Amino acid sequence: MLLTTCIVLGACTAAMIAAAWSRNRVPVAASVVIAAALLTFFAILTASYTPADTNVFFRQAGEFVLQGKEPLFHVRYRYWNFLELMAYVYAGLLKTGIPWVYAVKILPIAADVVLVWMVSRLAGSDGRTRALQFAVNPLSLMIASLHGQIEPVALALALGGVLVLRSGRPVLAGVLLGAAIAAKTWPVLILLAVLPLRRPWYSARIVAGSVVVPVLCLASGAVFLGTNVLQALARVATYTGVTENWTWSGVWLALHHQTKAAFIPTVGAAGAAFVIAGVAVTLYLLRRHPPEVRALGVLCAALVCAFVFGSQYLMWPLPLTLALAGRWRYWYVLTASGWAGVAYLMRGQPAVVPVTRLLSWVVAATLVGLIVEQVRRNPDQPLELEPRAPGTDIRRSRAAVDGTSGPTPAAY
C-alpha cells in the first residue's frame, strides 16, 4: 500500500511538471474530470492513513450537533476551534450512513475539483495549463483525499469571493469570504489582503458581507445548540495552538531538547507578533499589486512566520501559487509535497521529527521566493513569468495576472 501510494504521488508530480513542459492546454473540463477521478481513487487508496483529527474529532463535531451540543465546548480542546458551519455539514454526512473515513472527504474532494476551475480563471491566458497542473498536483491529493481536511473548502469559498470581487460585487464577495472564515478561521488573511484600503466605503461593503455567514452560524448555535455567543467568539478569537517542529519554533524545541509539540505561552506570544509583522510587511510591499497577488503574499508570509503548524496549512497558498507564480511554483509544490509526504506516510517513525524539522526550512525558503517573485514584478507592465524555454511559461500582460481584462482595477 505504501509503495503504491508513493508511486501515485511520484507520477502526479511528473505529470504536473510535464503539463508545463509540453505546454499542454487540455480543456478545463477535462482537467476537472481528471482531478475528480484522481482524488476519489486516492481517497480509497489511502483510507487507512486518515489522521485522527478528521477521523475522530471531526466526526465528534457532527455527533455533538446531532445531540444538540456546541462542538466548540465539547470536542477535545485545540481539535475543534471553528464556527458551526462545517459541524453542520458533518452532522448531515453522519446521517447518510456512509462510512466516515470516506464521508469526511466528500466535501474537500468536491471543493478541490472546483478549485481546478478557479485556478483556470485566476491564471488568465495560461489558465488551461495551470488548471491541469493543479488537477494532478500531489499536495492536493494528500490534504483533500488522504487527510480530508477543511482547507480545500475554505479555499474554494475564499477564492470564489476573490473572483466575484472582480465583477464588482463587493457584498456577495464578502459573503463568500465570510463563509470561508466560518468554515475555518485562517481565511481572514485573504479578507484582509483583498480590502482596498484607499476606498473605505468599498471595503466596508466587503466587510459587511463577510459577517453574514458567521452571524448566522452563531445565531443558529444559540437557538439549536445552546451556544453562548460571547464565549464562542472568545474561544475562536483567542485560540493558540501548540508550538510545532516548524522552522524557528522547531529550532526552539530542539534547543530545549524537546521532540514533541508543546503548548508554550511565551513562544505563542512571540509567534503571534511575528506573524502579524510578516503579514503587515508583505501587504505593504505588495500594496500596488492586484488583490489575488496580495492574498498569495500574505498566505506565504503567515506560513513563513508560523509557530503553530499542520500539514494541511501547506495548501493555503497552493491554488494561487499554481495560478499566478512563475518558476517558484515548482519548487514550492515539490518541497511542500515532500514535507507532507514524510509527515503523513512516516507518521510515528523516529526519523519524522528531524526530517520535517530540517525540511521545513527548505519549504519556507520557497515561500520567501514566491513573495520576492511577486514583489519584484511591476504590476503596470507586461510580465514574463519565466524565460522562453521548454517547460516554461511565456509573456503575458498584467490583465492575465489580475483579471483586469474584465472590470477595471477600480472595481477592487
* pLDDT top residue among 399 and 41: 41
Residue 77, C-beta contacts closer than 8 angstroms, at least 6 positions apart? none
Per-residue pLDDT, 11: 97
What percent of the chain has a predicted confidence (pLDDT) above 90?
A: 79
Closest CA to 184 of 219, 149, 224: 149
Q: Name the β-bridge partners of 288.
A: none
Residue 411 pLDDT more than 50? no
Residue 314, C-beta contacts closer than 8 angstroms, at least 6 positions apart? 139, 143, 303, 336, 339, 340, 363
350 DSSP assignment: T
- 241, 249 Cβ separation under 8 angstroms: no
pLDDT band at 78 (very low <50, low <70, confident <90, very high): confident
pLDDT band at 380 (very low <50, low <70, confident <90, very high): low
- Distance, C-alpha 27 to centroid of its chain: 25
Least confident of 19-28, 108-117, 224-233, 389-398: 389-398
The answer to whether the predicted template modeling score (pTM) of the entire model surpasses 0.95 is: no
Q: What is the mean pLDDT of residues 165-189?
A: 97
Residue 155, C-beta contacts closer than 8 angstroms, at least 6 positions apart? 111, 115, 180, 187, 315, 316, 318, 319
pLDDT band at 123 (very low <50, low <70, confident <90, very high): very high
- 154, 183 Cβ separation under 8 angstroms: yes
